[in-house]
Amino acid sequence: MGKVICFANNKGGVGKTTTAVAIGQAWARAGKKVLFVDLDSQANLTAMVSPLPLEEHESSIRDAFLDKKKFAIEHAAENVDLVPSELSLSNFDRDTAAITGREYLLLDLLKPVKNKYDYIIIDCPPALGLITYNALIASDHLVMVATPDGLAYQGMVMVANLYADVKSNPRLNPNLTLTGVIISKYERNKLSDMYVEKIRQEMGDAFIDPVLSKATKVAQAGSFNQNIYDYDPSGKVTKQYVEIANTLAKRISKGKL
């Protein structure tokens, strides 16, 4: 049975979605079957992974939350499938207000398909609402992504606190594991170096080296709807993504850090 990994930070703009996509694509290129689940109403992951324009997706994760029969998985590329998002997912709390056990909606959707994939990657929104709560309950592993600055650090700490709450409750997800902490968009300066070391010390074994360097080609690849491995195959950050993907895969296979 495959493993479910959610990528989270309460702060937007930290490279979370880009990192999740790059890691999943690295696994797919290594022959693993990967399903991306986009839980962010901005649908950035959907735009990066799917060859279709956003308006041409017949069904989204929002539709599936409201009606399980509408849970649709799209094929996006070799070894890559996708459950797309859409802007109306931002109304999730209101739309599901009358649903009993709505914190388990994602878990119930993914259970029947886990054995079809090696990895299911969930991209969380930059918020700690009910959608992220769903993701933590449905996941086997949590990966936090942060830039080396104060706001991103605070957002990461907030996710870590929510993780502790979910894991400590036997009715939620006591088997959830904090498997990785990734630093992205790193530029060498005193402030960045201070936060890298602060996060490294506080997160201990969960911290993953190398830190991801800031690179314009990463943003360019996303803008051109290309994966980084085709757009900049010999780039420094491209190699860093592969190294991090390999580290995460080893940790997941062992079930521990």
- Distance (Å, whole) CA 181 – CA 178: 8
| pLDDT at site 53 | 85
User: Which pair of structure tokens corresponds to residue 200?
Assistant: 């490294």
Please, which pLDDT band fits residue 251 given cuts at 50, 70 and 90? Answer: very high
What average pLDDT does range 73-87 have in this prediction?
96
Whether 160 and 144 have beta carbons less than 8 Å apart is answered as yes
User: Which pair of structure tokens corresponds to residue 7?
Assistant: 């990528």
| pLDDT at site 226 | 84
| pLDDT at site 238 | 95
Domains of the chain: 3-254 (3.40.50.300)
| pLDDT at site 56 | 85
Whether 38 and 123 have beta carbons less than 8 Å apart is answered as yes
What average pLDDT does range 77-86 have in this prediction?
96
pLDDT at 256 over 70: no
Residue keyed to tokens 């860093």:
240
DSSP-derived secondary structure for 73-117: -EEEETTEEEE---GGGGGHHHHTTT-TTGGGHHHHHHGGGGGG-
- Distance (Å, whole) CA 236 – CA 216: 11
pLDDT single digits (tens) 190-240 = 999 999 999 999 999 999 999 999 988 888 887 777 889 999 999 999 999
pLDDT single digits (tens) 134-166 = 999 999 999 999 999 999 999 999 999 999 999
pLDDT single digits (tens) 116-130 = 999 999 999 999 999
pLDDT at 1 over 80: no
Whether 13 and 213 have beta carbons less than 8 Å apart is answered as no
- Distance (Å, whole) CA 128 – CA 155: 9
Which residue type occupies 121?
I
pLDDT at 257 over 70: no
Mean pLDDT over all residues of the chain?
94
**Residue percentage of the chain with pLDDT more than 90:** 90
| pLDDT at site 254 | 86
Please, which pLDDT band fits residue 20 given cuts at 50, 70 and 90? Answer: very high
Mutual angle of helices 190-203 and 150-168, in 10-degree steps: 10
- For residue 129, the tally of other CB atoms under 10 A from its CB is 13
